[in-house]
Chain A
Amino acid sequence: MIKYVIKRILLMLFVLFAITTICFMLIRILPREIPQDKVLQQAYRDRWEALGYDEPLMIQFGIYLKNIFTNFDFGTSWYVSPNTPAAEVLLDRLFPTILVNLYSLLLSVPLGLMFGVLAAVKKNKWQDHLISTMVIVFVSVPSYVYAFLVQYFLYFEWGLFPLNVYSLADAGGSWFTFKMFYSMVPAILSLSFGTIAGLCRFTRAELTETLTSEYMLLARTKGLTRWQATVRHALKNAMVPILPMILSGFVGILGGSLIIEQIFSIPGVGQLYIKAINLLDYDLFMMDTIFYTAIGLLSGIVIDLSYGFIDPRIRMGEK
């Protein structure tokens, strides 16, 4: 078990390293954007030379790795927020992203599970047909379409919510004020539709499978009511694949959604990424790449490992 976990983590680190290497090379060979301002131009040139940006590529990579391991220094943002360490810029942006996605997940997980269970229990009845149809629609429709619908109705037609997420100053200086939450509601809603539908579909599929298994028949024969049997046996077994998916969703909230952040102008990681590309801020772009890659790999690992923790019957690492 522990051996398997270590093996998986080492493998992940290897993949992360390989991707970092490839991306580093591809990004560093790009011509650097030079500032218009003459003074700044000279300052940046000097600074880049001092940082070894003129060295051969392999040596640059060596310096880059050394900086990461010794100082946790992922380079410097030159244009988005000049002369700030890239890691710091990213960490500043992390919080709004996490918050919006966390709210959205807290909303969608119970709803998704609920609708999924309902559809599975009422399989082939009108409730199931209704939910399944809605699921197909909501899974397919792209998230920005929801965003526009939400903006249109909640802002223009009914005037209930603001168009964009408030800035920190507008909302009273904290991310946790009610005002901030209030302005985030449209973004949270637009994020949630797809997640609810996806989770609902998954839950329904898993639960219908466990509902038809033999231990359910035994449970009913023992005298359990349908409700008891479903909750105690079917749902518990169905949760084995569902829970890892939810867990990886929680890892995924770090990454957030590029489009939703752009539309609702949430000052998060996704918006930072777009800004970094538009301003050709390559160090920051590199930082973002590592970040997104790490999250993707991490959520994969979480899915794999959590299977073993949730269900001891699954022996990990066995062929």
Chain B
Amino acid sequence: MDKNNTRSGIPKEKFEFADRDSTISEKKFNHKPIGYFRDAWNRFRKNKASIVAAIIILLIVLYALIVPFLGISEEMNLYYAKKGPRMTWLRAFGIADGGVDEAFNDLTYIKLLAIGAAAEDRDGTASVSFAEGQTSEYQPVLESQGYTAQALPGGRYKFTYQARVDSYLQLGFVNMQVTQSEYAKILEWQEESGLQVIYPLIDEKSGYFYSGAPEADKANYWYKTNQRGAPVSVNEETGQVTALSLSTDLRLEDNYLRDANGDPVYHTYTGGGDIHTAAYKVRVLYYNYYQYRTGSEPNYLLGTDSQGYDMALRLAKGIRLSLLVAVFVSVINFMIGGIYGAIEGYYGGLLDLIMERISDILSGVPFIVVATLFQIHLAQKLGPIPGMLFAFVVTGWIGTASRMRSQFYRFKNQEYVMAARTLGARDRRIILKHIFPNTLGTLITSIALVIPGVVFNESMLSFLGIVNLGTAETTSLGTLLSDASSIWTNYPHLMIIPAVVISLMMICFNLFGNGLRDAFNPSLRGVEE
């Protein structure tokens, strides 16, 4: 209506033909034609969630590719297993300080605080007081969070101390066997670096040694204790023993092993070998021993895993394995499923019927059973990974095949196929050149959606212990989770890190796959399979 009015309002002579002389029918388009993939890309680009998902996937892949080449030690360190994240340069900001919140009774709390005093006391003279030890950099307590006292019958109290402790320093001292040559090397390193590794041994036969301590903790009871592990003071002359309690002016009496001159003993010969292989028993401050071994303070950005490997590295390896398996499986499925579905759909009839029954049977076997059978049969000969790959491939292609088949049914009677056939094109040409390109979108989408399924199933199989992928070199996300599953309540980072990564991967791959499907096949938008 409006249009007519304005037109009628303008005098007729003002109108003229725009292109009277030129003919636009012969003109070439001056923009490029938009092909199938270009069109899909244009649509995909508008889907913000999918773009974000694709970027996250890219970052995860980059992480998995780059981290193994950063020179992170692949060594397994049993002493530093299950520890939290710790980065020296991040400690200043209060994050990644290796800290855990723990509760202690008064005896274990004294032991913990005494590590600092013992570490500062380099020559074994017990010259460093308990209070001075608190300021030592080897003192594990990062933050004392107060204590609670619970009244016990008989007028005594049970104290519980809450503290945030550096789990790396908490290990304190460790008794070790080293060879004589290594002992010499450590002494040399001590000279160079000015850090002390070897500390006086403890006199285990003095009668004031806490023999009931856990094996890993024995080297930390360097002071005189009674049989309960409580620090005591011994009067040299009368032999009278008085129990000490936690206070600011606490003075612990050392229980170092001493020779005839009264000097502390740093090593004892425990037997064996010549000058290079003779074994020495020594007591080392593990934190410094670690520096001697690796050349740096313990730096684990994501902590260590349940076996003592660097979590950041294990995670990268896990992601790499999971993704490799997923990509490999989806490519194989793409090929088998594509060919199988194409033959079924194109030829139809009896052939289709028979092939459908075969895939019926295969798809009827529960995946978990297939995976178990392949593991039992093949894992011994080929290793667990090929066994698992076979299991994925045996049943995985069926979905792709049936999608392919329905696509072929849809396209094979279209006019352009008939035209091609009339012109004498062979079956192979029709399948590959005429129908296949039309089904490509569906196929790519189904591949993208296979990946999260494989990642999930892989993690499930390793989690349930059906597949065991954890070795010194390889691990998978599911293995990390499965290792953590029984102990994660004490070490949450063991569970949280792989769980977050695997969830992120699943979400992103699903979003990405959905985006691809919408892009390739806009008519299917919002329809779920």
Pair from one complex: yes
CA distance A296 to B360 in the complex (A): 12
- The 8 A-B residue pairs whose C-beta atoms are closest, nearest first, are A140-B506, A140-B507, A292-B366, A141-B503, A140-B510, A18-B361, A289-B369, A15-B364
Given contacts A201-B528, A292-B368, contact A258 B361 (CB under 8 A): no
CA distance A285 to B368 in the complex (A): 11
Please provide the chain B residues from 508 to 529 with a CB less than 8 Å away from any CB of chain A in the complex.
509-511, 514, 526-528
In contact, A262 and B464 (Cβ under 8 angstroms): yes
Which residues of chain A have C-beta atoms less than 8 A from B503's C-beta? Answer: 140-142, 145
Which residues of chain B have C-beta atoms less than 8 A from A130's C-beta? Answer: none
A194-231 near B? 1/0 per residue, CB < 8 Å = 00000001101100110000000000000000000000
Q: Which residues of B come within 8 Å of A, CB atoms?
A: 49, 357, 360-361, 364-366, 368-369, 372-373, 376-377, 452, 456, 459-460, 463-466, 481, 485, 488-489, 492, 495, 499, 502-503, 506-507, 509-511, 514, 526-528
Q: Does A30 contact B (CB under 8 A)?
A: yes
Please provide the chain A residues from 26 to 54 with a CB less than 8 Å away from any CB of chain B in the complex.
26-27, 30
Given contacts A201-B528, A263-B485, contact A19 B456 (CB under 8 A): no
Which residues of chain B have C-beta atoms less than 8 A from A87's C-beta? Answer: none
Which of chain B's residues has its CB closest to A285's CB? Answer: B372
In contact, A296 and B364 (Cβ under 8 angstroms): yes
Which residues of chain A have C-beta atoms less than 8 A from B488's C-beta? Answer: 148
Q: Does A259 contact B (CB under 8 A)?
A: yes
A173-212 near B? 1/0 per residue, CB < 8 Å = 0000000000000000000000000000110110011000
A-B CB pair tally, cutoff 8 Å: 94
Given contacts A23-B373, A205-B528, contact A139 B465 (CB under 8 A): no
CA distance A156 to B495 in the complex (A): 15
In contact, A27 and B464 (Cβ under 8 angstroms): no
Q: Does A16 contact B (CB under 8 A)?
A: yes
CB distance from B497 to the nearest CB of A (A): 12
Q: Does A297 contact B (CB under 8 A)?
A: yes
Which of chain B's residues has its CB closest to A295's CB? Answer: B366
Which of chain B's residues has its CB closest to A208's CB? Answer: B526
In contact, A277 and B372 (Cβ under 8 angstroms): yes
- Chain A residues touching B, majority SS: helix
CA distance A22 to B394 in the complex (A): 14
In contact, A136 and B510 (Cβ under 8 angstroms): yes
Which of chain A's residues has its CB closest to B53's CB? Answer: A136
In contact, B489 and A156 (Cβ under 8 angstroms): yes
Partner of A202, one of B466, B511, B514, B528: B528
Q: Does A279 contact B (CB under 8 A)?
A: no
Give the interface centre of A16, A30, A263, A292 by most chain B CB atoms within 10 Å.
A292
> 10 other contacts beyond A18-B361, A144-B463, A201-B528, with CB at 8 A cut-off?
A15-B360, A15-B364, A19-B364, A22-B365, A30-B377, A140-B510, A152-B492, A204-B526, A263-B485, A278-B465
In contact, B506 and A296 (Cβ under 8 angstroms): no
CA distance A201 to B529 in the complex (A): 10
Which residues of chain A have C-beta atoms less than 8 A from B364's C-beta? Answer: 15-16, 19, 293, 296-297
In contact, A293 and B365 (Cβ under 8 angstroms): yes
A-B contact pairs, 7 of them (CB 8 A): A30-B377, A141-B506, A142-B456, A142-B506, A148-B495, A273-B368, A277-B466
